[in-house]
Structure 1
Amino acid sequence: MKETSDQQTRRRWVTLAEVLAVAGVVIAGLTLYNSWQERRDSASTKIEERTAAARDRTRFELRGVPASGHSSILLTRDEAHPLGDVRISFPTALGVAPQDAVGHTIEADWFERPLREQTDGGEDDVTGRLPVLVDYSFMADDKPIARHAIYDIVWKTEGQLLRGRRVTLIDFRLREAGGSQRRIDALWARDKPKPPVK
């Protein structure tokens, strides 16, 4: 039995309707997948941003500047990272016990005499650097964080009439993160000014 033209037309419409329905399902699926992918990427980006922000909040470098008169180093304050305890350890050869910088100040009096004794025999006017191990804590997001690093106290001696040499402090510089007593001993042995060979 032959199909009439009406039946053929209806069958074409059914087939076209089926194709459009399948296409609609595919488009809806792709749209749903795209939306899910965007949400996932957005969540991943937010996690990365939060992690980076947390890392930035815990990033802090201790700094110091000479006080007027150059007889001490003032450790600078940072409102976002309030300083806690600070302990300064000196090279063993100086014979200076570790000192707590209670007022966040490093005093030349702690090491001036042994530094002069260790550098006697050379010129009166000398500039050098004294490696120290600094253990300190600070607050970040209301949590205490402990760090230690080796810093150089940059110093200068100047001859004084009838009074020997005077030590002045001229800078406080980060030398390396981490560190140990053995490391500052080795640095001092290497960097200590040597008296001239006679």
Structure 2
Amino acid sequence: MTETPPDPHEDQAEKAEKQAVRRRWLTIGELVAVAGVVIAGLTFWNGWSERRDAAATRAAEQAAAQAEAEATRRRVGLIATDAGGDTLAFKGVECALQATDIRFPPSLGVEPQFTVTVHAFQADWIARPLLTLTDGGPDRRRGRLPVLIESRCDGAGGPRLERAIYDLVWEIEPGLFGRSLKLRGLILREDKLGTNVDARLNALWDKPAAQPGG
């Protein structure tokens, strides 16, 4: 039998096809390698970003906690030192109280007061308007009056300053010569104040809230 000689064109086509296949595999391999690099980079970035965000959150929380602790440490914190009556003495919790400026709700019509050395509320400051407002009701009444107290106190770490609203607890009692106002306590109400404190004092003072006492 006579053998047919190989076609040189077919050999070249086959070689070209094999080269094309190899090129395709090389291209796919390169793409897979690039994709792997990209995925690894994104994974690293996400992990680093999460760690950075977590660190920033922890730092912010620690800063807020430290600020709150510092604010608490430097707070004056006023407390009454007696059961009250015609006067109600008060002092700083952990520091030596130096001076206070006291303001009442503007609608009460009472002038601001200032204390130094001797720190006490006087029932006479607010007796007339409160007795007038409660006139005609039960002889025994009880309520709270919001007051702004700006105080300066010397303690550990230096002077402390506080600007807070306290509730001054009052009681009207019947007596032989008519009704009288007594002061019964001092309670912290707000120590984070805005700019319009007078409006806040008026808003907190609910005049009809006074209830008959027991």
TM normalised by structure 2 equals: 0.58
Structure 2 vs 1, CA of residues 84 and 63 (structure 1 numbering), >3 Å: closer, same or farther?
Answer: same
Matching residue within 90, 93, 99 for 1:85: 99
| Structure 1 CA distance for aligned equivalents of residues 131 and 90 of structure 2 | 24
Q: Secondary structure at the match of 1:66?
A: coil
Does 2:144 match 1:132?
no
1:174 aligns with 2:174: no
Task: Check conservation: 2:165, 2:188, Cα contact below 8 A.
Answer: yes
CA distance in structure 2 between the aligned counterparts of 1:153 and 1:113, rounded to whole angstroms: 16
Change (3 A) 1:175 1:84: same
1:120 aligns with 2:135: yes
Query: What is the 5 A alignment of 1:35-50?
Result: none
The structural deviation recorded for 1:182 is 1.1
- The whole-number CA distance in structure 2 between the counterparts of 1:148 and 1:191 is 27
Q: Aligned-pair distance for 1:192?
A: 4.3
Shift of 1:167: 0.9
After superposition, the CA RMSD in angstroms is 3.0
Distance (Å, rounded) in 1 between the aligned partners of 2:161 and 2:111: 21
The Cα shift of 1:148 comes to 1.0
Give the Cα–Cα distance (whole angstroms) in 2 for the partners of residues 57 and 89 of structure 1: 25
Kept after mapping to 2: 8 A contact 1:131/1:188: yes
Offset at residue 168 of structure 1 (A): 1.1
Question: Percent identity over the alignment?
Answer: 38
Name stretches of at least 5 consecutive residues in structure 1 with no aligned partner.
Answer: 1-47
Distance 1:86 1:67 in 2: 20
- 1:183 equivalent in alignment to 2:183: no
Within 2, Cα distance between the matches of 1:176 and 1:83? Answer: 19
Per-residue displacement from partner, 1:7-66 (whole Å, max 9, x unpaired)? xxxxxxxxxxxxxxxxxxxxxxxxxxxxxxxxxxxxxxxxx9xx68x8264243111133
Structure 2: 5+ residue stretches without partners: 1-62
Which residue of the partner structure matches residue 49 of structure 2?
A: none
- Any idea what SS the aligned residue of 1:84 has? strand
Deviations 1:147-167 (A, max 9, x none): 111111111111123x22111
- The amino acid across from 1:61 in the alignment is G
What TM-score, normalized by structure 1, do the two folds share?
Answer: 0.62
CA distance in 2, matches of 1:66, 1:120: 28
Q: Find the partner of 2:120 among 101, 105, 113.
A: 105
Q: Which residue of 2 aligns with 1:21?
A: none
Instruction: Provide the rounded CA distance (Å) in 2 between the counterparts of 1:118 and 1:186.
Output: 17
Q: Which residue of 2 aligns with 1:150?
A: 165
Q: How far 1:99 moved relative to its partner?
A: 0.3
1:188 partner letter? W
The number of equivalent residue pairs is 145
CA distance change for structure 1 residues 137 and 156 in 2, over 3 Å: closer, same or farther? same
Post-superposition offset of 1:111:
1.1
Q: Is the 8 A contact 2:92 2:153 kept in 1?
A: no
Letter in 2 for 1:132: V
